[in-house]
Chain A
């Protein structure tokens, strides 16, 4: 500290650096924030380990729950393990995304977020983007493991195009839910409240979806709820891919109480869900200063 210091190291810049393009800046800050999350994951991998073990439990334990249910209850030549796999894929991705706000909330509580907010970020959406990239990567790892395990348990394996479609659907549901969770992380007073919200949202949304049972099993009012639940719009197309080798955007995927919905409509609803979620959190990100 006392040795001589080159004065340039401490001197202010003579002129402020030229601004890079907004997109280049956004990319740079997003990548750096994403890298931070992956370094954390690499040094503290327990979240990922638990996130892989949990869906295995669902598949094995829950799958065994209905082993002796009458054949063809869930569809011709469909056993419950097959029926369950798409539900577990979506629910696992959903749970991960729902927790996306927690690290941001802890950054807020420890004051680390201030470091990001006093920096001249091109956009605060880079915080959202970094979390989304991170959560999507985790969800993809989990999805691959679930698809593999389900195949081993006899659920079969979709075609390559089918797998691509599953990846797209997982991405769409994760994007919207991550955005909402991050919005809550900016809006709620602290992590206790955020955990409470996660707690009361998680399982009810699971049960009010078609993850564990088809619409036709449900009470009429629950059918309506499940048919409005974004999770259902992710589960049903994946299930259709699992059950039908042949599918297209016009395939009738779900019989909602008000009529049949095809594959394309389901994807459009997921896309709209993402759009609404991103718009909803905008004022929260903007709060005080833009």
Chain B
């Protein structure tokens, strides 16, 4: 059986800005695949190319063995798309919106009626179905959109940032639903800039940064590749640079320490990678006390997906996020999104 999604050497630029430089990954049938990366990494552009909303400059994009470039209509029939900005017609009721959606996918009326009822029940939306979508809360909007994406029983459901802006409870509801969806046999491709979301849901993932795939595998594979344990050390809440460097120098000399990075974005905290199983914390304390430096906080953990990201890019996902937020031109992005429409 062909893979649910194959993307090879995808490139896409908007004018002078390269949104996607070189992205390749494949999604097997029946798995949940996560695209993880900070805002502006090229996730949404990749998704738009996959969903036939944008035309790639070069590369291969296939859904179930069908080219999204050559046979967009066949691809559209096979995938459901839940966009990042949930666009509902606020004058329509949820049920009317779903009926419209069913007609756009050419589902016969009687079958559509049943499907709508099944999905409304499955998503616990029956109470809201006949209210205007303009009155919906964020969580309900997302659930109606999930129902809309699933009406035609697609082989592949594509979700762009499915839980962004949702409260914790609604988020868990969406997660649980996606797991049920997987259990029923639907392939799910989701983008997210939430580490824990991808960690909790994805069977496999690709980490995207600057329009390229920088790592691909199962969450535990990726974490194991990074190796070692993580230690985050703060000398003070905001450590002066000289002090941090002094500590860096001394800690580097310890035999079990692999790397020490000073992170200026987090008040010059120190991020250490140490050999797994080493009794690191007491020795670090001793070393620092010996050279007269204080300890504000000290914590050890197994590597996370964030460490995978940090190892590949030299910065944490949150820092990348903050950096992207300051240079982001939302107006321009909306223009880009409309361009292909």
Contact = CB atoms under 8 A, between A and B. Distances in A.
A2 B106 contact: no
B104 interface: yes
B89 A10 contact: no
A40 B83 contact: no
B118 A9 contact: yes
B58 interface: no
B341 A117 contact: yes
A118 B81 contact: yes
Interface string B91-119: 11000100111011111000000010011
Interface stretch (B180-188, B227-235, B292-300): B180-188
Contacts of B100: 32-33, 35-36
B122 A31 contact: no
Contacts of A32: 99-100, 103-104
A289 B185 CA distance: 30
Interface in A155-199: 186, 189-190
Contacts of A118: 51-53, 76, 79, 81
Contacts of B338: 108-109, 189-190
A29 interface: yes
A110 B105 CA distance: 21
B173 A12 contact: no
A114 B87 contact: yes
A31 B79 CA distance: 23
Contacts of B121: 5, 9
Interface stretch (B148-156, B270-278, B301-309): B148-156
Nearest to A111: B87
Contact of A120 (B77, B85, B150, B180): B77
A190 B91 CA distance: 22
B227 to A, nearest CB: 38
B267 interface: no
A153 interface: no
Interface residues of B, number: 59
A20 B79 CA distance: 18
A39 B92 contact: yes
A287 B55 CA distance: 10
B154 A12 contact: yes
Interface string A250-266: 00000000000000000
A113 interface: yes
Interface in B48-78: 51-55, 72-74, 76-78
B130 interface: no
B224 to A, nearest CB: 32
A118 B148 CA distance: 12
Contacts of B72: 289-290
Nearest to A6: B118
B123 interface: yes
Contacts of B17: none
A7 B122 CA distance: 10
Contacts of A19: 106
Interface in A96-127: 107-122
A119 to B, nearest CB: 4
Contact of A7 (B74, B76, B184): B184
Interface of A: 1-3, 5-13, 16-17, 19-20, 24-25, 28-29, 31-33, 35-36, 39-40, 43-44, 107-122, 186, 189-190, 287-290
Top 7 nearest A-B pairs (CB, nearest first) are A32-B103, A111-B87, A119-B104, A10-B184, A9-B118, A120-B76, A13-B153
22 contacts: A3-B124, A10-B150, A10-B180, A11-B185, A12-B154, A12-B185, A12-B186, A13-B153, A25-B106, A28-B103, A29-B104, A35-B100, A40-B91, A108-B338, A109-B338, A113-B341, A115-B83, A115-B101, A120-B74, A120-B77, A122-B106, A288-B340
